[in-house]
Structure 1
Amino acid sequence: MRQALFLIPLVASTAAVAAPENAISEARLRADVEKLVSFGTRHTLSSQTDPKRGIGAARKWAEAEFRKTGAACGGCLEIVLPETVVSGDRVPLPTRLVDVVAIQRGTERPNEVVIVQGHIDSRVSDVLDAVKDAPGANDDGSGTALVLEAARVLSKEKFAGTIVYAALSGEEQGLLGGKLLADYATQQGWTVKAVLNNDIVGGSRGSDGYKDDAHVRVLSEGPRADATDALRAQMRRYGGENDSPSRNISRWVAKLAEKDGAGLAVRQIWRADRLGRGGDQLPFSDKGYPAIRFTVAVEDYEHQHQDLRTEGGVKFGDTVDEMDFPYLAKVTRLNVRALARLARTPMPPAPVVKGAVQPSTDVEWQAVPGATRYVLWQRRTDAPMWETRLLETDETKASLPGVRADDWLFGVSAVAADGSESPIASAVPGGQFGPLPKS
């Protein structure tokens, strides 16, 4: 194959992209984490009525912060409080569960949604202990502060698509708030472009003293959680094990990070979550929504899920003094950059490749709203990242004579009029963004 035959000049962006991430305040992030810690415990089973202590007070404060931000942007945020009653192994008595959500509606495609979220609840060593102080500074005061700051910064601008900011409850009791919001997204009929879950994003030093403040981990599923047996069989036969929409969001964020010299490099972790652990991105991917998790490059296990104490000279507990706020600001910066671009870009297409038993390849896709052109991508089947930008076109198909489809993977991204480019959707079984059709 002579790849150069298919390279053509790319169309330049028609408008400069603003940089809202430059307005992020490290001081506000610190103040928000300190305020969250001041509620004593934010355990899901703690008081919902005490005005100063417990999950209820914390939720009301987060709601008030969203309302304050909404007032500052002339009412651009709609506040909703999805609610349910839960029970289970970690919720022995039926308990009211509430997520605190702010919606910034898109001006052109309001049903296309990108979600940024963190969980507001906290815990100590005993997951059922709702009484002891559970500061939850890094887990997950850091993610909640990031969400609040993203809303403050991005609400000053307008976007074609919708941004949803969410402080979730019940994560420590079984990802309950994530499931509640995923169900709400389905009920609303949202087209979810991406979910950015931020959980433990405010520390840079591990339990063993190792420090890494130059990277953030981004975790993503490989094979789709919502795949049927028939689709899994197609993936095994034709490829797709490494090309879920969540995996392509991860690749896209990693490339985005490379363009910010003042930010963080992304270390992609190609697992749905850490070994033996979970996060609120999982209920979304279970439904077929593209979802990734941001988390610190190195974890400090003495300062998460621990009673406040000192043993053998070692201090335990998730407290503010163990955090790295310049690092949290950098993770927030990357999230805000990703959110702004995702809210501007069209949805990725759903390409299909045809090339069996022929010395050429044809790729086709349906037009997507907001796209002025499309980019066709290619990579080797054993390559981790998209390698070659083959061509741009305003059509919804492309032919590649002399290219044998057996040896390559192909993908397509969509480009808006301002040059904002979507993540790449892979032309493989299950590569489309969004839930799979029910059989």
Structure 2
Amino acid sequence: MQRLLPSIFALSIAVPATAQTGPDPAQAVSEARQRADIEKLVAFGTRHTLSTQTDPKRGIGAARRWAEAEFRKSSKACGNCLEIALPETMISGERVPTPTRLVDVVAIQRGTERPNEVVIVQGHIDSRGSDVMNATVDAPGANDDGSGTALVLEAARVLSKHKYPATIVYAVLSGEEQGLYGGKLLADYAKAQGWTVKAVFNNDIVGGSRGSDGVKDDAHVRVLSEGLRADSTDALRAQMRRFGGENDSPSRNIARWLEGLAAQDATGLAVRQIWRADRMGRGGDQLPFSDKGYPAVRFSVAIEDYEHQHQDVRTEGGVKFGDTIDEMDFPYLAKVTRLNVRGLAALASAPMPPVVTAKAAVSTWTDLEWKAVPGALSYTVWRRRTDAPGWTEKVAEGVTATTLRLEHVRGDDWFFGVSAKAANGAESPVSTAVPGGGFGPIGG
């Protein structure tokens, strides 16, 4: 076992290595293309999940077929590098009074080395007006969630021109407004494919910068992440009470990692971490993935505009309502897209975070042990105080063993984590040495 004395601890900020070996794909993001995409989406009139699926110009069916065609254009441009999948199911429920066909539109860019290791970027294509059950009223859905759909389509266009060791999945989901049905369908599909899901980026309402009260913030994007794992068992929660881990789910560590990644781009957006699974009393398509134990976060605007989401298009008392394209901030959307693209490229280049354990009870030292992961050339060991929000202290890097003893380090006072680095320099997020800290479903 390798031993390390505390005298060589070095203070550093936990910023991942993105290891770009060529042009930054994020620089190819086109604001003009995204504007054209949202203009097209708005032109479908409504994209309500219960709207017509057969009309060639209006409704969810037409919108879905258009998104599929856009993926196929991107695939043709990269030599058919994208596999198109159309997972579907029949749904019914409180907001779906009659059985309805639900279809997700998915493009899969297979990894060159570890194709079963997957990162997912997604947004929902369906829209709604004031009455969630009204499937015929115009519901332009420019920001909610035309912005997320445009982001996914643009990410596919620019990233498909490059190759990555792991697989990237681009997904346009249906049924979000009726009960997160599209997210559940894709989460079920991921499980059926046997994918090892490293991260899910759910983008929902990412194209505006001004709130209902006139406050503007075009310098930040919120990244929401769960603390306690949704797939926690009673036994795991009992372990967390003894050893910690309430603030160290894989999703939370993805959010920390994204904050560090965003800090590398002085012209981009800063990440404001929101330590909630979603906004208060609300939900998004990341939640069905979290329910299955897959690391998932939500990107959303820094400030929401409630007069221009979930509203019929109208004017009352001199106030305009409705999710219309004139309320969008396209430079802001392009920045959110660039951050997603950089995150996807970095994660698809990096190994999986290792599963780590720490032993330090009644001891003047701490023993760390982790499982080797495919594609890792070396590992970086981190620690942080138990009351610290992020990873700030790098204990050792370039470690090639899978064990490390930290002499004279009382484990009671610290959380420890390990990230994996590939030969290309790309480094994974940190995986914490606590119960439930591993990147994968509990017991799976």
**Counterpart selection for 2:59 from 32, 54, 74:** 54
Q: Distance in 2 between matches of 1:134 and 1:163?
A: 30
Question: 1:18 Cα shift?
Answer: 4.0
Q: Distance in 2 between matches of 1:279 and 1:13?
A: 28
Q: Distance in 2 between matches of 1:223 and 1:213?
A: 30
Alignment of structure 1 residues 34-433 onto 2, 5 Å: 34-392=39-397, 393-433=399-439
Question: 1:8 Cα shift?
Answer: 11
Whether the 8 Å CA contact 1:8–1:391 is kept in 2: the answer is: no
Could you list the per-position Cα deviations for residues 333-388 of structure 1 after superposition, in whole angstroms to 9, with x for gaps in the alignment? 00000000000000000000011111000100110000000000000000000010
User: Matched residue pairs, number?
Assistant: 437
Q: Distance in 1 between matches of 2:270 and 2:392?
A: 19
Question: 1:16 Cα shift?
Answer: 3.4
Extract unaligned runs of 5+ from structure 2: none
| Counterpart AA for 1:397 | T
| Counterpart AA for 1:80 | A
Extract unaligned runs of 5+ from structure 1: none
Q: Distance in 2 between matches of 1:274 and 1:28?
A: 29
What SS class does the counterpart of residue 295 from structure 1 fall into?
Answer: strand
Deviates more, 1:278-287 or 1:387-396: 387-396
Q: Runs of at least 4 residues of structure 1 off by over 2 A?
A: 1-9, 12-18
Whether the 8 Å CA contact 2:184–2:288 is kept in 1: the answer is: yes
Question: 1:283 Cα shift?
Answer: 0.2
Whether the 8 Å CA contact 1:6–1:400 is kept in 2: the answer is: no
Q: Distance in 2 between matches of 1:243 and 1:145?
A: 31
Over the matched positions of the two proteins, sequence identity in percent amounts to 75
| Counterpart AA for 1:318 | D
| Counterpart AA for 2:292 | K
Could you list the per-position Cα deviations for residues 64-116 of structure 1 after superposition, in whole angstroms to 9, with x for gaps in the alignment? 00000000000000000000000000000000000000000000000000000
Q: Distance in 2 between matches of 1:110 and 1:168?
A: 22
Whether the 8 Å CA contact 2:5–2:406 is kept in 1: the answer is: no
Question: What TM-score results when the alignment is normalised by the length of structure 1?
Answer: 0.98
| Counterpart AA for 1:136 | G
| Counterpart AA for 1:239 | G
Q: Distance in 1 between matches of 2:10 and 2:274?
A: 31
Q: 1:21 to 1:14 in 2, by over 3 A?
A: closer
| Counterpart AA for 1:410 | F
Could you list the per-position Cα deviations for residues 224-281 of structure 1 after superposition, in whole angstroms to 9, with x for gaps in the alignment? 0000011011111110000000000000000000000110000000000000110000
Could you list the per-position Cα deviations for residues 166-203 of structure 1 after superposition, in whole angstroms to 9, with x for gaps in the alignment? 00000000000000000000000000000000000000
- The equivalent of 2:441 in structure 1 is 435
Q: Distance in 2 between matches of 1:240 and 1:404?
A: 18
Query: Which of 1 and 2 has higher RCO (CA within 8 Å, sep 6+)?
Result: 2
Whether the 8 Å CA contact 2:6–2:407 is kept in 1: the answer is: no
Q: Distance in 1 between matches of 2:361 and 2:438?
A: 21
Question: 1:428 Cα shift?
Answer: 0.2
CA RMSD of aligned residues (A): 1.6
Could you list the per-position Cα deviations for residues 37-88 of structure 1 after superposition, in whole angstroms to 9, with x for gaps in the alignment? 0000000000000000000000000000000000000000000000000000
What SS class does the counterpart of residue 143 from structure 1 fall into?
Answer: helix
What SS class does the counterpart of residue 326 from structure 2 fall into?
Answer: helix
Q: 1:93 to 1:382 in 2, by over 3 A?
A: same
Could you list the per-position Cα deviations for residues 102-143 of structure 1 after superposition, in whole angstroms to 9, with x for gaps in the alignment? 000000000000000000000001000000000000000000
Question: 1:302 Cα shift?
Answer: 0.2
Question: 1:208 Cα shift?
Answer: 0.1
| Counterpart AA for 1:402 | H
Q: Distance in 2 between matches of 1:410 and 1:8?
A: 14
